[in-house]
Structure 1
Amino acid sequence: MKITCQRDILANAFVLAASIAPSRSPKEILQNVKVTAAGDKITLMATDQEVGIRLDVTEGIEVETEGTALLPVARTGPILRESNDETITIETDEAGIKISGSRSKFRLPGNNPDEFPSVHEFDESKYHQISTRTFREMLRRTVFATDSESSRYALGGVLLEMEESSVIAVGTDGRRLARMEGTGESVGGHATSGMTTIVPTRAIGLIERALSEKDDFVEVASRGNDLLIRTPRAVISSRLVEGRYPNWRQVLPQRENAIQIDVVVGPLFAALRQAAIVTDLDSRGVDFTFADGTLKLEAKTADLGESQIELPIAYDGESITLTMDHRYLADFCKVMDNESTVVMEIESAKSPALLQTDDGYAYVIMPMARDR
């Protein structure tokens, strides 16, 4: 194999593929990125045997001799990152791999590419086609609520429910829940069954990085114990999390007498950051008191002091105080635009708070017991 390519283009693609390769593994072969050069493109492949990626690179590539090679992540990554050469040539021979530019030359040992495990291709006839922008937003607004460290393995990923034109993503750690609805097109009658299509949090991060704003659509297929994602330049495969997701619909409050208050995200987040200054890991609760046209945020920690921040709101009803973990509300604010208006629904000190937007996003925060 012999290829010449623009260094920055190859480096960016290599970083994405290499993020899958484990830094330590009993199977050392997995600590490589497999490169296949054919026609007018190269394909980078990496896997940890749970998550895999096939990444096509066509821009800035010249294939002089077709072939296959294994590039060790620990050495190739730094070479591509630190080199000042605009173009890089990668060539294999019996002695190994030679990486060279106009002012640099490296020789690395080569392993047998045939020993590298296969990485799934996307050959599905049944899948959902979803707007890339919608799918990325669905993942971004739910993945933060997952709990990869929980003994309840099903909480360590995002649930995807896909039926006909409906696509729903859900993330929860048992103390808060994020759900976003979107639309898509079912091709070939594709649909998920039950609540078992749980995509691990680690795979979600890779999918987000692989999605490009230049792409109009992404194709998503649930197949047995795997999920496959196809974009114009990449195919990502992931084993699904074992287990059954909790019935998230029972968590979303359905209340007739709850109070709904419009709140702008930016001012709410600013007030929350101020109130949280006197909190710590043991005292995370912030009291939210709704009364007399004002939302009052109060926190108190024995060693750090007290805070009281006021925010004007359109509510003049009976006083309601709800205590929430400030981190959970902050996570919600971080995935929203500061100018966004959300509807905050509250009922009592013992009932969860529900935040909703007009684009299908809902976020539930369970209340904390008040210490004062």
Structure 2
Amino acid sequence: MKISCQRESLTSAFALAASIAPARSPKEILQNVKITASGGKLTLTATDMEVGIRLELSEGVEVETEGTALLPVQRTMAILRENNDETLTFETDDSGIKVTGSRSKFKLPGNNPDEFPSVDGFDEAKYHVLPTRLFRSMVKRTVFATDSESSRYALGGVLLELEGESVIAVGTDGRRLARMEGKGESVGEHGTTGTSTIVPTRAIQLMERALDDKDETVDVAARNNDLLLRTSKAVIYSRLVEGRYPNWRQVFPQRENAIQLDMTVGPLFAALRQAAIVTDHESRGIDFTFADGTLKLEASTADIGESQIELPIAYDGESITLTMDHRYVADFCKVLDNESTFIMEIESGAAPALLSTDDGYGYVIMPMARDR
């Protein structure tokens, strides 16, 4: 194999593939990225046996001799990042891989690429077509609420429900729950069944990273034990989390007499950050008191001090105090623009708060017990 590549375009593609390769593994061969030069383009594959990627690169690639090679992740990444040459040439022989630039030469050992595990391509006849922008929002607005440390493995991923035009993503750690819904297109009557299409948190984050802003849509195919995502340049495969997801619909409050308050992200987030100054890891609760046209945020920690921040709101009803973990409210604010508006629905100090936007995003926060 002999190829020449523009270093910058290869670096970004290699970095994405390399993020899947395990840093440590009993199978040392997995600590490589396999490159295949054929048909005037380069295909990069990597896997940790749970997640895999096939990434095509044609921009800035010249194939002189077709073939395959295994590039060790750590050393190759270091070369690509530290090197200043505009173009690099990769050439294999019996002794290994030569990497050559206009002012640099490297020699790396070569392993047998035939021993590298195969990574699935996208050959599905049934799948969902989703707007790229929607899929990106679905991931960013739910993945932070998952719980990778829980003994309930199903909480360590994002649930995807794809049925007809309806597409829903859900993330929860048992103390808060985020749900994002939108519309897609089912091809070949593709759909998920039950609550078992749970994509591991790390895998769905990698999928979001692989999205190309130039692509208007992405294809998603759910199978019995895995999920495939296809963009114009990449296919990512992930095994699903074992187990069944909790009935998240039961968590969403269905109440007739709840108070709905129109809020803006920026002012609330600013007030929240101020109130949180006197909190610590042990004392994370902030009292949200709604009364007399004001939202009052109060925090108190014995060794640190007290805070009280007021925010004008359109509410003049009975006083309601709800204690919430400030980190959970902050997470909601972080995934929205400061100018975004939302509805905060409250009922009592013992009932969960529901925060929702008009573009299909809903977020439930369970109340904390008040210390005072």
The TM-score bracket by the shorter chain reads: over 0.9
Structure 2 match to 1:267: 267
Q: Distance in 2 between matches of 1:51 and 1:330?
A: 30
Is residue 298 of structure 2 the alignment partner of residue 298 of structure 1? yes
The match for 1:150 is: 150
> Counterparts of 1:108 and 1:74 in 2: how far apart (Å)?
11
Deviates more, 1:205-214 or 1:229-238: 205-214
User: What are the residue-to-residue correspondences of 1:190-339 with 2, within 5 Å?
Assistant: 190-339=190-339
Partner of 1:3: 3
CA–CA distance in 2 between the matches of 1:4 and 1:80? 13
Residue matched to 1:344: 344
Task: Give, in whole Å, the separation in 2 of the partners of 1:341 and 1:298.
Answer: 23
The aligned counterpart of 1:64 is 64
Give the Cα separation in 1 of the matches to 2:209 and 2:194: 28
- Runs of 4+ in structure 1 deviating by more than 2 angstroms, as ranges, are none
Report the Cα offset of residue 224 of structure 1.
1.1
The match for 1:359 is 359
* Whole-Å separation in 1 of the counterparts to 2:311 and 2:40: 59
Q: Which amino acid aligns with 2:234?
A: A
What secondary structure does 2:43 align onto? strand
Aligned to 1:39: 39
Q: For residues 171-207 of structure 1, give each alpha carbon's deviation from its aligned partner in whole angstroms, at most 9, with x where no partner exists.
A: 0000000001110000000000000000000101101
Query: CA deviation digits over 1:209-261, x for unaligned, max 9?
Result: 10111111000000110000000000000000000000000000001000000
What is the alpha-carbon distance in structure 2 between the residues aligned to residue 67 and residue 99 of structure 1? 15
Residue identity matched to 1:288: F
Normalised by the size of structure 1, how large is the TM-score?
Answer: 1.00
Work out the CA distance in 2 between the residues paired with 1:270 and 1:17: 38
Q: Displacement of 1:284 after TM fit?
A: 0.2
Identity of aligned residues (%): 79
Q: Verify: 1:170 aligned to 2:175, yes or no.
A: no
Residue aligned with 1:110, SS: coil
Secondary structure, aligned partner of 1:253:
coil
- Aligned to 1:274, the other structure's residue is in SS state helix
Partner secondary structure for residue 77 of structure 1: helix
CA distance in 1, matches of 2:282, 2:94: 60
Letter in 1 for 2:160: L
Q: CA deviation at 1:120?
A: 0.6
Cα deviation for residue 357 of structure 1 reads 0.3
The 5 A counterparts of 1:114-125 are: 114-125=114-125
Deviation of 1:22 (Å): 0.5
3-state SS of 1:118 partner:
coil
CA distance in 2, matches of 1:38, 1:154: 40
One-letter amino acid of the structure 2 residue matched with residue 332 of structure 1: F
Q: Distance in 1 between matches of 2:168 and 2:23?
A: 34
Given the alignment of the two structures, is residue 110 of structure 1 paired with residue 110 of structure 2, yes or no? yes
Shift, 1:40, TM fit: 1.5
Matched, 1:183 2:152: no
1:274-305 deviation per Cα after TM superposition (whole angstroms, max 9, x unaligned): 00000000000000000011000000000000
Deviation at 1:25, TM superposition (A): 0.4
- Inter-partner Cα distance in structure 1 for 2:344 and 2:178: 14
User: Residue 114 of structure 1 aligns to a residue in which SS?
Assistant: helix
Alignment root-mean-square deviation, CA: 0.4
Counterparts of 1:75-94 in structure 2 under 5 Å?
75-94=75-94
Give, in angstroms, the shift of residue 74 of structure 1: 1.3
Instruction: Report Cα offsets for 1:38-68 as digits up to 9, x if no partner.
Output: 0121000000000000000010110111000
- Mapped partners of 1:12, 1:359: distance in 2: 32
Separation of aligned partners in 2, 1:135 and 1:27: 33
CA distance in 2, matches of 1:182, 1:40: 38
Equivalent position of 1:96 in the other structure? 96
User: SS at the partner of 1:147?
Assistant: coil
SS of equivalent to 2:184: strand
Query: Following the alignment from structure 2 to structure 1, what is the Cα–Cα distance between the partners of residues 172 and 84?
Result: 45
Gaps of 5+ in 2: none
Unaligned runs of 5+ in 1: none
Residues paired across the two proteins, number? 372
